[in-house]
Amino acid sequence: MTSKYRLIWQLMEGERLRYSAAILSLVIASCFLYLVPLVPTVVLDGVIAVNPATSGLTTRVMEMAGGRDFLRSNLWLAVLATVAFTAIAGIFTYLRGRLAGIASESIARRVREKLYDQLQHLPCSFYDRSQTGDLVQRCTSDVETLRMFLIDQVVEIGRAALMLLIPLPLMFAVDARMAGISLILIPPITAFSIVFFNRVRSRFEAVDQAEGRMSSTLQENLTGIRVVRAFARQKYEIEKFDSRNAEHRNLHYALYRLLAAFWSASDLMCITQIAIVVCSGGWWLATGSLAIGSFMFFLMVVNMFLWPVRMMGRILTELGKATVAIGRIHDILGHPRESKPAEESQTPLDESVQGEIVFRDVTFSHRAGEAAIANASFRVPAGQTLALLGSSGSGKSTIVNLLLRFYDPENGAIEIDGVDIGRMDRKDVRRQISVVMQEPFLFSKTLRENIVLGHAAAPHNEVTEATSAACIHETIVEFEKGYETLVGERGITLSGGQRQRVALARALLKQPPILVLDDALSAVDTETEIMILDALRQRRGRHTTIVIAHRLSTLMDADEVLVLDRGRIVQRGSHETLRNEQGMYRRIMSIQNDLEEQLRQDLSSVAGA
């Protein structure tokens, strides 16, 4: 709990002065606002009354303002005073609004930026455990709740308290009996409001949940519309949605009834409070123990503080929501970032990295007891190609993730050019590597912006060279806007193979010492794949390359092949050595050969028939 408030305090840094000024403005504005009812009090009791009061607050004020006769002949001063007090209160209200607005919007902005920055630096293990939807929710609606809390509630709570506290001395100075009478229902109104909103919180939540159920039914219907049509289940679906829709309506309506009860009861109490003031004021007025001006004063003051008091319960409920939201934001901001080696132990990389990769006895597991990769050791000399072969779950991708330092090994070390990457800045490691994943992510920017992601200053001829090697240049040029075509929801949708080729171009353009292809051509059609492999063959020696595939044809060119099975390297060697060795590689080859043979038989038997 305290850590949440500490978080708010930290986030307020740089804006604390502004906030304090806003609160000060609020105090000043409230003071002046309560001076306004004094004007008619003085005018009515002191200036135009037939039997003016001779002592008390009004007389003192009147004397200060130049005496009864002066005021009587210059009654316009009353307008001036009313307007002036309100205007001064207005200026400070403006200052309050402006300062609090700037302060809280700046804080909201900083929170958004902090969250964004934090999200980019959280370790991949964090993302394995989180859902995108939930994270986005925290970054948007929870930040919005926090913002509303900062701009409205902090100030409103202050305002409610001030509106009640500031007039107290004035009220008692004007008339102690009336002051007491004016406050008589305030405690029950406040208590009622607080208790009520605490009680109905669960009802609000119930409505939210019903709405959630309704929209997920809707979403399922829309995403599964083909299934609905295929079974001609429209009527069933309409009934199903109707029951959710009706449930939401009923709960929502029940909430309205509750709120109606609250507002009418609270209205009843508030207007009763005013009626009490009017009637007892009238009574004392009639008995001559209360002046008409003081009566007027209380009438105005009561109206001023009743509203904030009624809102108290509402504000406190919102406060509860805000603490929950802050907690959820804190979960993200408080999570440790990807570790960085201490400055002094950090080993800077040579300017010209050669790209030699060494794994020494590396072990890593996502879950305790299940090693994703165990005791892996291998060396890839600079400029050579290593192929990883194995079924899904054999540990191929783990090797890539470890090399990119998305995860850190539990045991052993990984070296680039003889330097332990654990002692390098993660970003320095990643700058040396280009990776193409099986399902590459493209940003919703133009194709060019996506391709120059790793090398923003690349001249156009280098871009086209990369796209040509990835066999995507022709496709891009055929688009209406060519390289300036937007990708994603607002632009075109690329097929899986096209995405993979764009990602390959992006990786090649970066011209890294190390290139990783993680099943990167799985969605590319066969003929294009052959062309791309040809282009890559021509670039041999430019990068140290790691290729992951589950097809032998893509591995033929590798200098060395590692065969992986359940996190262990079971075989290694060149294609030539492995094919002559007893083991999994031979098994794979023989199964493939069998299939090939079968294919040939199929073709020839038919041809012969």
Partner 1 sequence: MTSYHDDEDHVVRRLDVSLWRRMLEHSRPYRKQLAGLCLAGMTIAFCDVSLPRITGFVIDDAIATGGNNLSFYGAQYGAAVLLLSSLVYLLIVLAGSAVTGVAYDLRRKAFARLQELSFAFYDQRPVGWLMARLTSDCDRISAVLPWTLLDAIWGGFLVSGITLMMLWMNWKLALVVLSIVPPLSIATVIYQRKLIRTQRLARKTNSKITAGFNEGIAGVRTTKAFVREEENLREFQVLTAEMCGYSVRSAIYAAIYLPVIMTFGATGVGLALWRGGLISGLGFPIGDLVAFMQYAAIFHIPIQEMAERFTGLQSAQASAERLQALLDTAPTIVDSDEVRCGVLLQRRWPRPDLASDGKAHGIREIRFENVDFAYQGSSRILCDFNLTIHAGESIALVGETGSGKSTVARLVCRFYEPTGGRILLDGVDYRERSLEWLQSNLGIVLQEPHLFSGTIRENIRYGRLQASDAEIESVAQQVGAAAFISQLPKGYDTEVGESGNRLSTGQKQFVSLARALLADPQILVLDEATSSLDTETERRIQSGVETLLRGRISIIIAHRLSTIRSADRIVVISRGRIVEEGSHRDLLALGGQYATLYSLQFRREAESVAVQTASEPEQFQVRNTRA
Question: Applying CB under 8 A, does 302 fall inside the site for partner 1?
Answer: no
Give the number of other CB atoms < 10 A from CB of residue 178: 23
| 476-515 residues near partner 1, rule: CB under 8 A | 489-490, 495, 506, 510
Q: Which is nearer to partner 1, 362 or 388 (CB)?
A: 388
**Residues 6+ away with beta carbon under 8 Å from 469:** 504, 505, 508, 532, 535, 536, 539
Question: Applying CB under 8 A, does 43 fall inside the site for partner 1?
Answer: yes
Task: Give the total of residues touching partner 1 (CB under 8 A).
Answer: 167
Taking the complex as a whole, the smallest distance from the CB of residue 468 to partner 1 amounts, in Å, to 21
Question: Which of 505, 359, 351 lies closest to 431, judged by CA?
Answer: 351
The contact pattern for partner 1, residues 405-424, with x = CB under 8 A and - = no contact, is: -x------------------
Question: Applying CB under 8 A, does 241 fall inside the site for partner 1?
Answer: yes
Residue of 176, 191, 195, 238 interacting with partner 1 (CB under 8 A): 238
Question: Applying CB under 8 A, does 329 fall inside the site for partner 1?
Answer: no
Q: Which is nearer to partner 1, 107 or 312 (CB)?
A: 107
C-alpha to C-alpha distance for 143 and 325, rounded to whole angstroms: 7
C-alpha to C-alpha distance for 114 and 333, rounded to whole angstroms: 8
Question: Applying CB under 8 A, does 260 fall inside the site for partner 1?
Answer: yes
| 538-567 residues near partner 1, rule: CB under 8 A | 550-553, 565-566
Question: Applying CB under 8 A, does 446 fall inside the site for partner 1?
Answer: no
CA distances for 543 relative to 187, 193, 395, 539, angstroms: 77, 70, 23, 8
Give the number of other CB atoms < 10 A from CB of residue 24: 14
Question: Which of 426, 443, 400 lies closest to 337, judged by CA?
Answer: 426
Q: Helical H runs in 12-123?
A: 16-35, 38-42, 57-64, 68-73, 76-121
Q: Which residues pair with 415 in a beta bridge?
A: 358, 420
Residue of 267, 410, 484, 534 interacting with partner 1 (CB under 8 A): 267
Q: Which is nearer to partner 1, 161 or 595 (CB)?
A: 595
Question: Applying CB under 8 A, does 78 fall inside the site for partner 1?
Answer: yes
Question: Applying CB under 8 A, does 307 fall inside the site for partner 1?
Answer: no
**Residues 6+ away with beta carbon under 8 Å from 26:** 92, 93, 96, 155, 158, 159, 162
Question: Which of 532, 514, 545, 546 lies closest to 434, judged by CA?
Answer: 514
C-alpha to C-alpha distance for 529 and 524, rounded to whole angstroms: 6
Residue of 64, 232, 342, 368 interacting with partner 1 (CB under 8 A): 232
The contact pattern for partner 1, residues 96-125, with x = CB under 8 A and - = no contact, is: xxx-xxx--xx-xx--xx-xxx-xxxx-x-
| 187-216 residues near partner 1, rule: CB under 8 A | 211, 214-216
Residue of 64, 222, 342, 457 interacting with partner 1 (CB under 8 A): 222
Question: Applying CB under 8 A, does 85 fall inside the site for partner 1?
Answer: yes
Only segment of 39-47, 187-195, 375-383, 463-471 that touches partner 1 (CB under 8 A): 39-47
**Residues 6+ away with beta carbon under 8 Å from 350:** 417
Q: Which residues pair with 446 in a beta bridge?
A: 486
Do residues 521 and 555 lie in contact, with contact meaning Cβ atoms separated by under 8 Å?
no
Question: Which of 406, 494, 512 lies closest to 450, judged by CA?
Answer: 494
Residues constituting the chain: 609
Q: Does residue 75 sit in helix, strand or coil? A: coil
Q: Which is nearer to partner 1, 350 or 361 (CB)?
A: 350
Question: Applying CB under 8 A, does 17 fall inside the site for partner 1?
Answer: no
CA distances for 459 relative to 456, 463, 474, 486, 501, angstroms: 9, 7, 18, 20, 19
| 579-608 residues near partner 1, rule: CB under 8 A | 584, 587-589, 591-592, 594-596, 598-599, 602-603, 606-607
Taking the complex as a whole, the smallest distance from the CB of residue 2 to partner 1 amounts, in Å, to 28
> Angle at the Cα of 517 (from 515 to 522), degrees rounded to 5?
160
Question: Applying CB under 8 A, does 340 fall inside the site for partner 1?
Answer: no
Residue of 259, 333, 349, 382 interacting with partner 1 (CB under 8 A): 259
Q: Which is nearer to partner 1, 56 or 97 (CB)?
A: 97
Question: Applying CB under 8 A, does 82 fall inside the site for partner 1?
Answer: yes
Taking the complex as a whole, the smallest distance from the CB of residue 143 to partner 1 amounts, in Å, to 9
Taking the complex as a whole, the smallest distance from the CB of residue 156 to partner 1 amounts, in Å, to 13
Question: Applying CB under 8 A, does 366 fall inside the site for partner 1?
Answer: no
